[in-house]
Structure 1
Amino acid sequence: MKTDTSQTNFDPSAQENYFIESGVISPIFIKNNHGIRYAIFYRNKWEGSTCQKQFQKTVGRIFDDDSVELGKKFLSQFPALKDCKATLSGRTIRLAGPNIAVLPPLEPMAQQRQAFFDELDQNTRLSAGASYVLWQIAQQNHLLTDLEDVFGKNRAAVLLSLAIFFASDPGAVASEFEIYSHHTWLPCSPLSSQEVSEVFQSILNPEVMRFLHKRIQHSKSSEQNSLYWSFDTTSISSYSETIRKTAYGYSKENPELPQLNLGLIVSENSGEPLYYKVLEGSISDPLALRQLLVDTAQLDTSNVSLVMDRAFSSPSLLDQLYKNNLGFICGSKTNLNYCKSVINSFARELQLGGVDTFLEEYGLQAKTSSTTWSYYDPSTGYRERKPLYIHVYLDPFRAAGERETLLKKLKKLQKKIKAKSPLNKPEADLRKQFFIKGSLGWAYDKELWQQNEKLLGLFVLVSSSVSSAAEALRIYRQRDIVEKNFNNLKERCSGRRMRCQESALEGKVFVLFLSLILLMNLKMRFHRAREEENCQEEKAKFLPDDVPDFLRGLSVIDVTSRKSENNQFFYWDLIPKKIRLTLEAIGIKEPPRFIT
């Protein structure tokens, strides 16, 4: 059937947007062609007292039940309508979305959430961009499946909705969730502040441990080789007077406030947090590791090596790691007995430098000592011996900087000693280290300088399994991923202060942990997309540097409610090209235009 396509001032893109926003194609007339009815979209224009035809287009065929099959030519001009169902109603064709919803499904709390949707007015807008992307991530990395296996579908939907809430807004407070859920597409009904507290209180430690075990199993199945997990602790301040674990102790920030400690294990490969432990605020890092080792007895840690800083390098802690069959790479203090002899034997050679000890990739001098570690194994009743690799590194630039700084301090100290001025504690300690007391008072000692000067710019790593100095350093330097997790927890997931009661503490930390999984997964997707060789330049330039900025950009993308005579559906805002390319680069499918 032929139609006249002559037209003036016709903009297909603007017309398509009108169809989507209005939910109708109007006006139309019906043309009968040999018993087959066709819907014709047209527009007339008045010129003086004469009505002139501006254009007309065949929309599609009309069937006996008044459903309309949109024609190929019509869809070629308006491709966004390809997923729509069309129904004839008078001189109007009403549009409805497809049957499959791509936003968070409503099955877990279908009745309650549908009742909320039914109350929405025509053209009500719900924020959906950020919740859609984070929900897709939860589906793709098995987070949603693991939550449903442990907590059931209803509770899983609520927990994940709360996690999306905290991940989407860095300053979120739990009491604001009710307002947030009224304006956001989520699979759970709006919850009051009291109901959110009850959700936190309902989370039990055995459930958390089952969930963490599942996450670790996923991590191990996706990483075939040796697993390297970064471990560290951080402090979280609290104003609450009811949380018994808060204490004044080894505070890392805000020493004027009582605090909790949080131990965290992060996969160096995926960047995903795998395990956490809420600890008392007065517990030091070594004690935190001891508690972790007790918990790891319940987890499958075969082929796992912990990557830690030098706070965890004491001989007693190394004994515990060997007893628990946990590999390790950790920084070590240079004054520990098991390091001193190795440092003394390597220091001068590293200072002289040489091609055999030069690590070109890092610009460092390095040498390794292979020795054995003896420890008592209670399971056998004997002393066991395992390999230990001590890697000593010299950074020439760091050594030069430390030498200059130290000499300036010593020069200032020398003048104060000569003037008999009072010394503060750091200066008194420095005097003991580099000066000797004689009959004429304190005097600078060159031998003490030579003994200490050779340690400048040196640092040590010890490992139970990695014999290469270069490989040990590469793995160790990736441990900053745990610091990135801590920063995200505090700055992006509202984890800097604990504003909750004792009974809700563990549950709230668990939900923040879920938020952290979502954010770190998104961050690592950006990182991997940039590193892919086949990542097109057009996509790469749109990849954001900051996850919160990206989520803020998504949060203004809405779905709009449309109600027709027989059903209700939602349609998406137009998604900007920048965001569409970003979603494609990080493996998130762009949602279809309509949702029912």
Structure 2
Amino acid sequence: MDYKTQVINGTTYAFIDKSHWNSEKKRGEHKRKYIGKVIEGKLVFNKKYLLEKQLETQKTSKPGPVPVTSCKRSFYGAVYLLSCIAEKIGLRDDLKACFGDIYKELMSLAFYLVLEEGQAMYRFKKWGHTHVHPFGADIPSQRISRLFGMITEDAKMAYFKRQAKRHCETEYLAFDTTSISSFSELLKQVKYGKNKEGDDLPQINLALLFGEVSMLPVYYRKLPGNIADVKTIDNLIKDVDFLDLVKLQLCMDRGFFSQKNINELMKHHHKFLIGARTGLKLVKTHLDDIRDSFVTRSNYNPALQLYVCTFTEQWDYEEEKPRLGTIKTGKRRVYLHIYYNDQHCTDDRNRFNHMLDRYEEELQTGKRKREHEGAYAKYFIVHETPARGIAIAYNDKAIREAEKDFGYFALLTNSIKDPVEAIRIYRMRDLIEKSFGNLKERLDMRRMSVSSEENLEGKLFVQFLALELMSYIKRQMEIHDLYRNYTMQEFLDELDTIEYYQQPGRAHHLSEITEKQRKLYEMMGVDVPT
């Protein structure tokens, strides 16, 4: 091919010079397109040029099945299930609309992550050779890296927007974050922060929205590893507004509670349900009034097996008006639900005593820890003399103050009057925590090993697609009590044994499908393959 070269800082770059007519300036101009470098007399193409050529080849290639030239048998049953689920939840159509020609490759990678628990991407070749899958051919490691780089922010947000419209117009969305450790020093957002796994490694944080009715993940965003939960709401609201949800309904734990966050949600007329600390003034005032008479039969709810009461309160609302330089204030109605659980009270007391035992031992042995100094001063009275050594006494007043709220917890909401409905929705937050567990354990996400920002973004998105598929399966397994007999991997393996036979000049056919396998497909809401 014809190309020109230019030496910049000692490196020889190759480019194609294209002339074009500038209609505005009424003159001919030249535009350079860099295609690579010349190294030892040989042209080495850059990634961008190779990707463009590959896409051109895909667009000009004729669609349709490739004729079979030899006998082949492939595993089919589990991939068929995932393909049907992708149709049901709109994953396939939305991927095709947002990502065009590469959507089948993205689906195949997501299917691989679901079916091959904890396997790295580079092992796709072996799996792809033995399974029927949407793309139908090998996706080498180099191609996978390029695919990750082709997943743009615009395409991702368009996909989230479509999925949100399908599933999340009327349901509460559980919101939470998790930390993902990384060994890479090249990722900008990898920072040291509060690691929820206890790893002593830098990390990124991942925020996820999860539907309370659909039980499907809706949206995620990547955060720097040193960002605290309480600081994430403002940007979440901006991102979710882009999804065009009529009204956002968020369910969050108390780590996200702050006056600023509550005001921000109210400002945008969003509904919320959030855990509140018992030490919060609004909660503490009511607890002090009811604590002595709360645990009675009249406050007991047999359905929840909890003691329950509800208060209607006025929230001191503030909204800053930057243009005017003023602050708008007012009152907004909220509902405060307070609960008490005997078992939680016992558990809290046991944990507290174990903690005090550990601190006391550290004081007696002289192995004090800097991060515990505040607790030493709060709960112990320590005297040290040359003759008697260390004498330790308890600060009973501080200990009683800490113990008085054991077993109590509170929820604050601007929309749910019924305490039973509030706790039901709040408990659905467990789904999001389990989803993070699935994401890390099954989807090769405990440690991120990518070395570039674009690869990280792409890999996270494919893992999100896999999480959508797994979440659907998990829900159906729970509905039909399948976890009594199967783990998720065992369930998928049961269907994966169905084979797909291909022979030259003949129509394909499937291996025998047992009655057990037929019932499993029916429980998933999927037609039996024929």
Settle same-fold status: TM greater than 0.5. yes
User: In the alignment, which residue of structure 1 is the partner of 2:106?
Assistant: 159
Q: 2:259 aligns with which of 281, 294, 315?
A: 315
Q: 1:443 to 1:272 in 2, by over 3 A?
A: same
User: In the alignment, which residue of structure 1 is the partner of 2:76?
Assistant: 128
Task: Give the match's secondary structure for 2:176.
Answer: strand
Deviation at 1:143, TM superposition (A): 1.3
Task: Give the match's secondary structure for 1:295.
Answer: helix
Task: Give the match's secondary structure for 1:349.
Answer: coil
User: In the alignment, which residue of structure 2 is the partner of 1:272?
Assistant: 216
Q: 2:122 aligns with which of 175, 178, 182?
A: 175
User: In the alignment, which residue of structure 2 is the partner of 1:590?
Assistant: 528
Relative to the length of structure 2, the TM-score reads 0.79
Partners of 1:148 and 1:156 within 8 A in 2: yes
CA distance in 1, matches of 2:274, 2:153: 30
Deviation at 1:160, TM superposition (A): 1.1
Task: Give the match's secondary structure for 1:568.
Answer: coil
CA distance in 2, matches of 1:415, 1:263: 38
Q: 1:423 to 1:498 in 2, by over 3 A?
A: closer
User: In the alignment, which residue of structure 1 is the partner of 2:138?
Assistant: 190
CA distance in 1, matches of 2:97, 2:362: 69
Q: 1:409 to 1:587 in 2, by over 3 A?
A: closer
Task: Give the match's secondary structure for 1:369.
Answer: strand
Q: Does 1:504 align with 2:463?
A: no
What pairs with 1:221-240 in structure 2 (closer than 5 Å)?
Answer: 226-240=170-184
Deviation at 1:558, TM superposition (A): 1.4
Q: Does 1:337 align with 2:287?
A: no
What pairs with 1:233-252 in structure 2 (closer than 5 Å)?
Answer: 233-252=177-196
Relative to the length of structure 1, the TM-score reads 0.71
1:81-110 Cα distance to aligned partner (Å, 9 max, x none): xxxxxxxxxxxxxxxxxxxxxxxxxx9998
Q: Residue 392 of structure 1 aligns to which amino acid in structure 2?
A: I
Q: 1:438 to 1:546 in 2, by over 3 A?
A: closer
Deviation at 1:527, TM superposition (A): 2.4
Q: 1:461 aligns with which of 399, 411, 435?
A: 411
CA distance in 2, matches of 1:426, 1:334: 23
Deviation at 1:112, TM superposition (A): 7.3
User: In the alignment, which residue of structure 2 is the partner of 1:580?
Assistant: 518
Deviates more, 1:430-439 or 1:284-293: 430-439
Q: How many residues align?
A: 462
Partners of 2:165 and 2:245 within 8 A in 1: no
Partners of 1:108 and 1:157 within 8 A in 2: no
CA distance in 2, matches of 1:136, 1:401: 45
Task: Give the match's secondary structure for 1:506.
Answer: helix
Task: Give the match's secondary structure for 1:514.
Answer: helix
Q: 1:471 aligns with which of 421, 429, 432?
A: 421
User: In the alignment, which residue of structure 1 is the partner of 2:199?
Assistant: 255
CA distance in 1, matches of 2:81, 2:176: 29
CA distance in 2, matches of 1:495, 1:282: 19
* Structure with the greater alpha carbon radius of gyration: 1
Q: Does 1:519 align with 2:431?
A: no
Deviation at 1:479, TM superposition (A): 0.9
Partners of 2:78 and 2:496 within 8 A in 1: yes
CA distance in 2, matches of 1:214, 1:273: 13
Partners of 1:301 and 1:326 within 8 A in 2: no
Q: Does 1:212 align with 2:160?
A: yes
User: In the alignment, which residue of structure 1 is the partner of 2:342?
Assistant: 396
Unaligned runs of 5+ in 1: 1-106, 531-539
Q: 1:411 to 1:179 in 2, by over 3 A?
A: closer
User: In the alignment, which residue of structure 1 is the partner of 2:492?
Assistant: 551
Partners of 2:107 and 2:134 within 8 A in 1: no
User: In the alignment, which residue of structure 2 is the partner of 1:17?
Assistant: none
Deviation at 1:373, TM superposition (A): 1.2
Deviation at 1:385, TM superposition (A): 2.4
User: In the alignment, which residue of structure 1 is the partner of 2:37?
Assistant: none
Partners of 2:68 and 2:502 within 8 A in 1: no
Partners of 2:204 and 2:225 within 8 A in 1: yes
Deviates more, 1:408-417 or 1:241-250: 408-417
Task: Give the match's secondary structure for 1:200.
Answer: helix
Deviation at 1:422, TM superposition (A): 6.9
CA distance in 2, matches of 1:319, 1:579: 52
Deviation at 1:434, TM superposition (A): 4.4
Q: 1:422 to 1:494 in 2, by over 3 A?
A: closer
Q: 1:444 to 1:227 in 2, by over 3 A?
A: same
Q: 1:411 to 1:182 in 2, by over 3 A?
A: closer
Deviation at 1:490, TM superposition (A): 1.1
Deviation at 1:125, TM superposition (A): 1.0
Q: Residue 524 of structure 1 aligns to which amino acid in structure 2?
A: R
CA distance in 1, matches of 2:448, 2:528: 36
Unaligned runs of 5+ in 2: 1-57, 386-390
Q: CA RMSD in A?
A: 3.1
Deviation at 1:281, TM superposition (A): 1.4
1:176-222 Cα distance to aligned partner (Å, 9 max, x none): 2233222221232322211111111111111111110111111135x
CA distance in 2, matches of 1:572, 1:411: 64
CA distance in 2, matches of 1:118, 1:295: 47
Q: 1:411 to 1:479 in 2, by over 3 A?
A: closer
Deviates more, 1:159-168 or 1:294-303: 294-303
Q: Residue 303 of structure 2 aligns to which amino acid in structure 1?
A: E
CA distance in 2, matches of 1:492, 1:113: 33
Q: 1:385 to 1:194 in 2, by over 3 A?
A: same
Partners of 2:316 and 2:329 within 8 A in 1: yes
Q: Does 1:288 align with 2:235?
A: no
Deviation at 1:337, TM superposition (A): 2.7
1:228-263 Cα distance to aligned partner (Å, 9 max, x none): 110101111223332222122121225233221110
Q: 1:334 to 1:194 in 2, by over 3 A?
A: same
Q: 1:110 to 1:267 in 2, by over 3 A?
A: farther
Q: 1:425 to 1:254 in 2, by over 3 A?
A: closer
User: In the alignment, which residue of structure 2 is the partner of 1:54?
Assistant: none
Task: Give the match's secondary structure for 1:348.
Answer: coil
